[in-house]
């Protein structure tokens, strides 16, 4: 029997019934008025979500990694240099992508529990000529949230394009493209948008589009923004068949976001994160990032002495909640819990009750205070 569990991994996130419903609509022609209108609406909503008036939005079948590739290849030509601000695993992925295409790159890697210091960025770009600076906003492996607005302030006006990997942040933590002078926000459907995986999503400034137009060619075809631009301006045109149902689901996802209002959504993510963190600390857990770098979209949580990763996650799942294990050197030492997207208060309450039950049933008493009752 299919027993549905609450999916609190760092993406995909739980899918709201309204979004599931739009996924289940009949598959229409990709050039039908229905899809054309829905894609236009999604593109326009997307710009509102990242506070961008003039840039060009792109929604393409794929995932976050494709969006990363598109951002780099369309702004940085061979012989030019990109600076990558890495907060962990996905910053390293950006470096791998750059290297795969023979692009010159330098990497500033944040310390163990911290994001890259803005002062290091300032120093680096004042001494070197970079065509682009690309920063991960929230690294899903470490849970580190970067001071992205400070980075943007440093890069703005100095020449380089500023690219944000917002896969684990966009729509849950503020990213204000126009105000901050951001050139590309790249993201994907399956995290803060709360839509099933399947889309690479980008918003690109006019300045960055002009850069692509100035390059005679780039080492890409599907990833070439100039092949997609006419379709995004007029979705009744064809370049490559869009994933019709997924786009309709994404449109519905963006409606839900704008109905909630972006500022309220950011505030809700902050409140939810705070509630979850307070409970986890009370139970005796700690976090990988230092306090100023904690993300509102996911927590990467260190196990206290006596809690074993496999047993903990299996028992948590039996109690109805799926969380993810650690990546790379953190495997076995942490669990990763997503708290982004369209999570409801009752889902959060359920998750915290299941956590308490899990700790009690694996025999961990931890720091349960008397008011917590020591579990059940």
Q: Which residues bind ligand PMP (CB under 6 A)?
A: 11, 63-65, 68, 90, 136, 139-140, 165, 167-168, 188
Give the CB-nearest residue to ligand PMP.
64
We find the least distance from the C-beta atom of residue 66 to ligand PMP, in angstroms, to be 7
For ligand PMP, which is the closer residue by CB, 62 or 366?
62
- 326, 308 Cβ separation under 8 angstroms: no
We find the least distance from the C-beta atom of residue 11 to ligand PMP, in angstroms, to be 6
For ligand PMP, which is the closer residue by CB, 173 or 177?
173
Structure tokens at 4: 């549905």
For ligand PMP, which is the closer residue by CB, 88 or 242?
88
Largest CA distance in the chain: 69
d(C-alpha 24, C-alpha 212), whole Å:
37
We find the least distance from the C-beta atom of residue 340 to ligand PMP, in angstroms, to be 11
We find the least distance from the C-beta atom of residue 87 to ligand PMP, in angstroms, to be 8
- 78, 252 Cβ separation under 8 angstroms: no
Buried b (16+ CB within 10 A) or exposed e, 35-61: bbebbbebbebbbebbbbeebbbbbbb
For ligand PMP, which is the closer residue by CB, 52 or 66?
66
The count of other CB atoms within 10 Å of the CB of residue 312 is 19
- 113, 260 Cβ separation under 8 angstroms: no
- 70, 202 Cβ separation under 8 angstroms: yes
We find the least distance from the C-beta atom of residue 324 to ligand PMP, in angstroms, to be 10
Beta strands in 237-314 (DSSP E): 286-287, 298-302
For ligand PMP, which is the closer residue by CB, 10 or 118?
10
d(C-alpha 147, C-alpha 30), whole Å:
40
For ligand PMP, which is the closer residue by CB, 141 or 208?
141
We find the least distance from the C-beta atom of residue 140 to ligand PMP, in angstroms, to be 3
We find the least distance from the C-beta atom of residue 293 to ligand PMP, in angstroms, to be 14
For ligand PMP, which is the closer residue by CB, 297 or 315?
297
- 184, 205 Cβ separation under 8 angstroms: yes
């Amino acid at each position: 029997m299919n027993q549905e569990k609450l999916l609190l991994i760092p993406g995909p996130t739980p899918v709201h019934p309204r979004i599931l419903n739009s996924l289940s609509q009949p598959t229409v022609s990709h050039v039908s008025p229905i899809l054309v209108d829905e894609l236009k609406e999604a593109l326009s909503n997307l710009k509102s979500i990242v506070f961008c008036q003039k840039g060009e939005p792109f929604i393409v079948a794929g995932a976050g990694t494709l969006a990363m590739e598109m951002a780099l290849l369309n702004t940085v030509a061979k012989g030019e240099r990109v600076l990558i601000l890495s907060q962990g695993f996905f910053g390293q992925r950006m470096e791998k992508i750059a290297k795969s295409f023979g692009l010159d790159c330098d990497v500033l890697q944040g310390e163990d529990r911290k994001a890259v210091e803005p002062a290091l960025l300032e120093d680096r770009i004042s001494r070197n000529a970079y065509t682009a600076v690309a920063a991960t906003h929230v690294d899903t492996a470490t849970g580190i949230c970067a001071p992205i607005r400070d980075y943007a302030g440093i890069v703005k006006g100095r020449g380089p394009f500023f690219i944000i990997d917002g896969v684990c942040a966009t729509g849950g933590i503020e990213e204000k493209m126009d105000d901050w002078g951001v050139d590309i926000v790249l993201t994907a459907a399956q995290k803060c948008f709360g839509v099933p995986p399947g889309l690479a999503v980008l918003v690109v400034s006019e300045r960055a589009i002009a850069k692509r137009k100035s390059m005679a060619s780039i080492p890409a075809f599907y990833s070439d923004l100039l092949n997609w631009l006419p379709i995004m301006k007029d979705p009744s045109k064809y370049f490559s068949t869009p994933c019709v149902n997924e786009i309709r689901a994404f449109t519905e996802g963006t409606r839900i976001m704008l109905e909630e209002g972006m500022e309220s959504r950011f505030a809700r993510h902050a409140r939810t994160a705070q509630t979850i963190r307070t409970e986890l600390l009370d139970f005796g857990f700690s976090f990988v990032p230092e306090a100023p770098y904690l993300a509102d979209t996911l927590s990467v949580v260190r196990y206290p002495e006596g809690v074993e990763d496999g047993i903990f996650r299996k028992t948590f799942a039996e109690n109805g909640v799926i969380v993810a294990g650690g990546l790379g050197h953190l495997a076995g030492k942490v669990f990763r819990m997503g708290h982004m997207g369209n999570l409801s208060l009752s889902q959060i309450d359920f998750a915290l009750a299941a956590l308490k039950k899990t700790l009690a049933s694996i025999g961990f008493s931890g720091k349960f205070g008397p008011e917590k009752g020591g579990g059940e």
